[in-house]
Amino acid sequence: MKASVAITIIVCGTILIAVPYIHSTIAMQQLVGTMVALDKEVNLTADLPKHADTVCMLGGAAMIILGAVAGLRSDKQD
């Protein structure tokens, strides 16, 4: 596997790990913005499923490991 492909897999895995945290931050900002604009309490229950965090972490970690192993193998073959 080319080194650029391995790096791309590692970057995508890192982004996949960060997705649940980014989603939570954006959802909180929207909630606070709505509460301030309406000047009252708002209930926003559009959250990710509970297992989505785990799936994103495991999937991202697997992608990072795969990219690292593939990058090391491509260096040995050259």
Mean pLDDT for 40-64 is 80
Tell me the domain boundaries of the chain. 3-77
Cα(26)–Cα(39) distance, integer angstroms: 20
Average pLDDT value for residue range 43-56: 75
pLDDT in tens, 33-46: 888 888 877 666 66
Q: Which residues of 8-36 are buried (b: 16+ CB within 10 A; e: fewer)?
A: ebbeebeebbebbeebeeeeeeeeeeeee
For the chain, give the percent of residues with pLDDT over 90: 17
Number of H helices, E strands in the chain: 2, 0
Does the reported pTM lie above 0.75?
A: no
Q: How far is CA 23 from the centre of its chain?
A: 9
Phi, psi of 43 (to 5 degrees): -110, 115
Per-residue pLDDT tens digits for 16-39: 999 888 888 888 888 888 888 888
pLDDT mean over 50-71: 87
